[in-house]
Amino acid sequence: MIVENLVSQISAILAISYLYSPFYNHLTEVYNRRYFDERLDEELKYKERFGGNFCVCLCDLDNFKKFNDFYGHLEGDNCLKEIAQIMKKTMRKTDLICRYGGDEFAIIMINTYLDEAITAVNRLKSAVEEKLKDKKITISIGISCYPQDGSTRTEILDKADKRLLEAKKIKNAVVYKD
């Protein structure tokens, strides 16, 4: 009985500390940009020393501004929460999902090759399209990979961002090469 109470109290403390973490986006219940930047730097240092690869995906919602303007910010917030939940259910447990800013999300796919990343984000794109078709929200994604697309945070993010911009021109697209 004492052990069960202690375990229950510790679980509650851990849950509360997670909610008030400086690395947590409270609206979407995924990590925030600050945590993304720190983890990306750690991953780069690790891969530089021990080798290996990973992919970074920058994701932006299509038609979100129209949706937000028409339905209001409360519904926009609910839509962002729904997107985050779809991402958590669709992506692998080892993928780090973060709210990057506004209606943008970022994913670090550790120990992942480009072909695996393409498969995973196409699955995500299809899930968003299917579950949010009534809201006319889709997702565009730009992918960059270490070490092929760069060896610094700036190079990796710049490449993913340029590809995201190309995907946004098409809408509901995944771009992974120039």
pTM of the model: 0.88
Length of the chain: 178
Rounded to whole angstroms, the Cα distance separating 169 from 167 reads: 5
pLDDT greater than 70 at residue 6 = no
Q: Which amino acid is at 5?
A: N
Q: Which amino acid is at 165?
A: L
- How does pLDDT run across 58-78, given as a tens digit for each residue? 999 999 999 999 999 999 999
pLDDT band with cut points at 50, 70 and 90 for residue 20: low
pLDDT band with cut points at 50, 70 and 90 for residue 24: confident
Q: What is the pLDDT of residue 166?
A: 98
Q: Which of 112, 96, 83 is nearest to 40 (CA)?
A: 96
Q: Which amino acid is at 62?
A: D
% the chain with pLDDT above 70: 89
Check if the beta carbon of residue 163 is closer than 8 Å to that of residue 107.
no
pLDDT band with cut points at 50, 70 and 90 for residue 11: low
Check if the beta carbon of residue 140 is closer than 8 Å to that of residue 164.
yes
pLDDT band with cut points at 50, 70 and 90 for residue 10: low
**Ordered structural domains, the chain, with CATH:** 24-175 (3.30.70.270)
pLDDT band with cut points at 50, 70 and 90 for residue 85: very high
Rounded to whole angstroms, the Cα distance separating 86 from 125 reads: 10
| Structure-block tokens of residue 110 | 């550790």
- How does pLDDT run across 116-160, given as a tens digit for each residue? 999 999 999 999 999 999 999 999 999 999 999 999 999 999 999
Name the phi and psi angles at 104, rounded to 5. -110, 140
Name the phi and psi angles at 80, rounded to 5. -60, -40
